[in-house]
Structure 1
Amino acid sequence: MIIEIIMDVVLPIFVLIGLGALMHRAFQLNLYTLAKINFYYITPAVVFLSMYESSMSPALLGSVTLFYVLYVVLLYGVSSIVSWKRKFKPGMKAAFTNSLILDNSGNYGLPINQLAFKGDPLATSIQALVMTFQSLVTFTYGVISVQRAKSDGTLKAALIGFLKMPVPYALVLGLIFHVFRWPLPEFAAKPLGYIADSMVSIALLTLGAQIIQYLLRLDRLDVYISVFLRLLIGPAIGFLLIYALGLKGIPAQALLIASGMPTGVNSTILAEEYDNEPDFASQTVLISTVLNIITITALISLSKFVG
C-alpha cells in the first residue's frame, strides 16, 4: 500500500514541484504572475465546481466547519504555550503561530486530495472548503497578528483584503447553484472544466518555483519545533477531532489528510511583506514541504483505516 501511495500520489506531486523549481532556476519565472494565475484564475474555478458538484449535506458542512474552527483554536493554543515557554518576542510569536495555523491547503493540498481520492467530488469539495477557511484565517488573523507585532494593524484593513479575494465568492456561488440545482450553461461549464483541469500542474509548478528561492539552513531549533508541531501534532489533533465529532468515511479521510499539510507559502509572504522573521518563515515552509514526503505518505496510508 505504501509503495502504491508513493508511486501514485506523492512522487507525481514532487516531480511537478521539482520541475517548477528547475523551471524557475533556468528561466527566473515571474512568481507574482504565477501566484495571480493560481489565486484569481485556477483556484476560484476549482472551488466553484467542487461546490457545484458536491454531495455534501448541510450537516456535513456544519461538521467540517466545526472541525476546522476547533483545529485552528487548538493549534493556536499549542503555539501560545510554546511561545510562552520559549519566551518569544511579539514578532517571533506571530511568525511562529502563522507557521502552524497557515498551511498549504491550496496549491499543495488540493492536488494531494485529487490524486489521493482520484478526483472524488465529495473529497474535493471538503478540501476546497478547508482551503477557503484557510484563506479567511490568513487574511484576518494572519495579517492582523503580523501587523500588530510590527505596527498597529486593524481588523478593517484585514477584512478589506479578505473581501478582495475571489475564492469566497466562488464558494458561495457554487453552493447557490448547487442548492437551487441551476444548470450550468455549456459556454461556462466547459471553460471552467478546462481551467480546473490545469490546477494540479500549474499549482505545483508555482509551489516549486516559490520554495526554490529559499536557501536551506539547518541551524534554527525554532524551525524544527514548528515543523514537528505542523507535521505531527497537527494530524494528531485532526485525528482526535475526527473521532470526537464522529466523522466517518471520505469526510474523515479527507480531513485527516488536510490536517497534515506543510506550512503555507502565505506565512512567508506575510513575513516578507512586514519584515517579520522572514528567515524563520521561509525555512519552515521549505523544510516542512520536504519532510512532508514522509508524513503525507503515512497519513494517506492511515486514512484508509479511518471511519
Structure 2
Amino acid sequence: MKVLGFLVVQNGVLIAISTVMAKLLKLDRSLSATFQNTIVLNNSGNFGIPVSQLVFHQQPLGLSIQIVVTIFQNFLTNTYGVWNFLSAGEKKGKVTAEFLKNPIIYALLFGLLFRSLDVPVPSFIWNPFQNVANAFLAVALLTLGAQVAYIDFKRFPSLLFVSVFGRLLLSPALAAMIIFALHLDGVTAQALFIASSYPCSRNTALYAWEYGHHPDYAAQAVLMSTLFSSVTVTMIVYLSKILF
C-alpha cells in the first residue's frame, strides 16, 4: 500500500506540474497532450525491469517493487495517457467511445479478475497470447525505429529539452521529496527513487503516431531521453545508495 500510495501521489503531482507547464508555455491542445505524456509516462518495462534486475540482483524486493511500478505505469498509460491523446483530438464528442475501444483496458481487467479468482486460462487460448506477447517488444521497437528514421537530427525544438529535463531530473527530484515525506527507507525507497528516473515511454511515441499528435516530437523525446538516461539513471542509482 505504501508503494501504491507513493505512485498515486508522485504521478498525480507530475500530471499537475506538466499541465501547468503546458499552459505557461502556451502549447496547443495536441502538442500539450504529447508533452504531458512524455513527462508523466516512463519506460518502466523493457528499460526499468532490466535495470532493477541488475541493481537489485541480491535483493528480490527491489525487483518486486519494479514489477508493481510497471503494472501501475501500464494502467496509467492506457487510461490517462490514451485519454489525454483522445481528448486532444478532433472527435471530442466521441472521446468516451474511442477510449472504450482500447483492448488493453479489458485485458487488464480480465487479468485482475482471473488472478483474484484463481481461474486458469486454457492452454489453447494462453499459448497464442504468449506468442503474440513475445513478439510485442520487437514489433514496438521496429515501429519506433521507423519513426526515428524520419527525425531531423539537425533541428531539435527547445521544448524537447524541457521534456527530457522533466522526465529525467524533475521526476526523481519530486520522488525524493515524496519518499522523505512518506518516511520510506531501505530497498523500497531506493527502488522507487530509481524507478522515477527512467526515460520517456516508447508507448507515448506509438500512441502519438496512432492518434496523430506530433509523433515526430514524441519519437525525439523517447530517443533523446533514452540516450541521456545512460548518464542520469547511473547518477540516480548512485544517489539512491547514499540517500537511502
Structure 2 unaligned segments of length 5 or more: list them.
124-129
What SS does structure 2 have at the residue aligned with 1:103? coil
Aligned counterpart in structure 1 of residue 99 of structure 2, from 141, 158, 164: 158
Q: Percent identity?
A: 33
What SS does structure 1 have at the residue aligned with 2:42? coil
Aligned-partner Cα distance in 2 for 1:175–1:242: 30
1:286 partner amino acid: L
Aligned counterpart in structure 1 of residue 176 of structure 2, from 225, 239, 264: 239
1:229 partner amino acid: G
Aligned-partner Cα distance in 2 for 1:210–1:233: 28
1:163 partner amino acid: I
1:84 partner amino acid: K
Q: State yes or no: 1:295 paired with 2:236.
A: no
Deviation at 1:173?
Answer: 6.4
Aligned-partner Cα distance in 1 for 2:60–2:112: 14
Normalised TM-score (structure 2): 0.82
Deviation at 1:84?
Answer: 1.1
After superposition, the C-alpha distances for 1:147-184 in whole angstroms (9 at most, x for unaligned) are 11112253464356343335x6656766787xxxxxxx
1:98 partner amino acid: N
Contact 1:91 1:149 (8 Å CA) reproduced? yes
Provide the residue aligned with 1:92 in structure 2: 31
Alpha-carbon RMSD across the aligned residues, in angstroms, is: 2.9
Aligned-partner Cα distance in 1 for 2:241–2:3: 19
Contact 2:168 2:232 (8 Å CA) reproduced? yes
2:167 partner amino acid: R
Provide the residue aligned with 1:250 in structure 2: 187
Q: State yes or no: 1:116 paired with 2:55.
A: yes
Q: State yes or no: 1:103 paired with 2:38.
A: no
Deviation at 1:77?
Answer: 1.7
Structure 1 residues 156 and 121, CA gap change in structure 2 (3 angstroms): farther
Normalised TM-score (structure 1): 0.66
Alignment of 1:110-259 (within 5 A): 110-118=49-57, 120-150=59-89, 151-152=91-92, 153-155=94-96, 157-158=98-99, 161=102, 162-165=104-107, 209=142, 211-213=144-146, 214=148, 215=151, 217=153, 218-259=155-196
Aligned-partner Cα distance in 2 for 1:209–1:269: 11
